[in-house]
Structure 1
């Protein structure tokens, strides 16, 4: 399989491409404000809108293009052995399965896509699916019926996907199943933005699409998972390395 390398500005370009309606609305508001500026004193609000848009795109470029997020060096501590069963689960947009196959060529990789347009209604995901084909062999699954035998997976990856499960009960059932599927010494890697001050500063009200660190810890604990460590990949992204409760080595 051809080796994948990311293009310059690929991350921020995808954000604009898949969320163009937000930027179109911002441009329309800016144009309207400039047109009526003599009638309504909105200059401060207009400049705040411009500043917020530029800041969010700048932060996104930093995270998805300038950082080493997609080099996956932050996963080196997992020590995945040849023949290990690894699982990568996405919510309809998969930028990492081929990267994982390149990083762990001796592992057995399964890829699951839990996207359900009836439940996971982000329009950006629908647009992304039309542009990026699924990784070869990707299996479409239901969050309440994950096709993994008990204690079969060495490592399960969830990169920027789990927050798309908006219903709390659905999310709890999902993580309980994943715990059941982990081997005794297996690990789970959950990568997410958090609903915190930093992401609010970067994305303003868009940070409401994320969950807080406390909310994630509650989900993990209720599913019988414990946090081995939390890795900050830039100030705006957190990777939780999880293991089964009672099986820490």
Structure 2
């Protein structure tokens, strides 16, 4: 089978979509080092330490991102069980879809649909806009609203929400969204939610960037309020968690 993802694709995408952050960081580092030529020895040492800390932070973040998105095998999807055939599957993204083609190849005989809840008025991050310009949407992707998914109730066997649900920044909106997923899910269907968490591991990796994610407790609260039960929770890596949800499963 032809490989879909290229070597270094994950880390290169991060740099391409967020290049302004790295330009600012590099300018800041060189500015700090430049100032050391005009300060006394004590301040010079402090400035050098600050520049080193900034450099290490960037290096660690990019190294971990390279591990997660390129080396870990996450996008091979080997952790997804493919013991179902001829089932209805939807994959929901927030404007940037790296997984629909991979999922369709895994579930070849499925009735597969990609959905996109990207809203330019809400999702104003320049990184998403850059990603959408570079990567076209999966064929026949349908646009949806988080408050209303135009599908029949009890019609879907499996729902994937991979690294996208955290883009719904309002808690009430997230609950409404997952309640909609509950509505369209068949009685024995499953929802697979994959996210970085706001925890120690991700804080060490992404520093203040980890606050863009939500805590485990926050996700569990959202699922509970949406009348969904967590039947399993696994760590794909130390930095990514997968929750499998059902309408009437056993809670953790």
The bucket for the TM-score relative to the shorter chain is over 0.9
Determine if the alignment matches structure 1 residue 6 to structure 2 residue 5: yes
Deviation of 1:223 after TM superposition, in Å, equals: 0.2
CA deviation vs aligned residue, 1:181-218 (integer Å, no higher than 9, x gap): 10010000000000000000000000000000000000
Q: How does 1:202-221 map to 2 (within 5 A)?
A: 202-221=205-224
**Equivalent in the alignment of 1:177:** 180
Q: Is the 8 A contact 1:188 1:241 kept in 2?
A: yes
Determine if the alignment matches structure 1 residue 18 to structure 2 residue 17: yes
Q: How does 1:77-226 map to 2 (within 5 A)?
A: 79=83, 81-226=84-229
Aligned length: 245
| Structure 2: gaps spanning 5 or more residues | none
SS in 1 for 2:193: strand
Determine if the alignment matches structure 1 residue 65 to structure 2 residue 64: no
Whole-Å Cα distance in 1 between the matches of residues 68 and 217 of structure 2? 22
SS in 2 for 1:75: coil
Whole-Å Cα distance in 1 between the matches of residues 156 and 221 of structure 2? 23
Q: Is the 8 A contact 2:95 2:117 kept in 1?
A: yes
Deviation of 1:246 after TM superposition, in Å, equals: 5.2
Q: Is the 8 A contact 1:94 1:135 kept in 2?
A: yes
SS in 2 for 1:99: helix
Q: Is the 8 A contact 2:96 2:135 kept in 1?
A: yes
Whole-Å Cα distance in 2 between the matches of residues 109 and 93 of structure 1? 17
**Equivalent in the alignment of 1:27:** 26
SS in 2 for 1:120: coil
- TM-score of the pair, normalised by structure 2: 0.94
Whole-Å Cα distance in 2 between the matches of residues 231 and 165 of structure 1? 22
Larger radius of gyration: 2
Deviation of 1:82 after TM superposition, in Å, equals: 2.1
Determine if the alignment matches structure 1 residue 46 to structure 2 residue 32: no
- TM-score of the pair, normalised by structure 1: 0.95
Whole-Å Cα distance in 2 between the matches of residues 113 and 37 of structure 1? 49
| Structure 1: gaps spanning 5 or more residues | none
Q: Is the 8 A contact 1:184 1:247 kept in 2?
A: no
Call closer, same or farther: CA 1:150–1:4 in 2, change over 3 Å. farther
Deviation of 1:53 after TM superposition, in Å, equals: 0.2
CA deviation vs aligned residue, 1:130-152 (integer Å, no higher than 9, x gap): 00000000001111111111000
Larger mean CA deviation between 200-209 and 29-38 belongs to: 29-38
SS in 2 for 1:224: coil
Whole-Å Cα distance in 2 between the matches of residues 3 and 128 of structure 1? 23
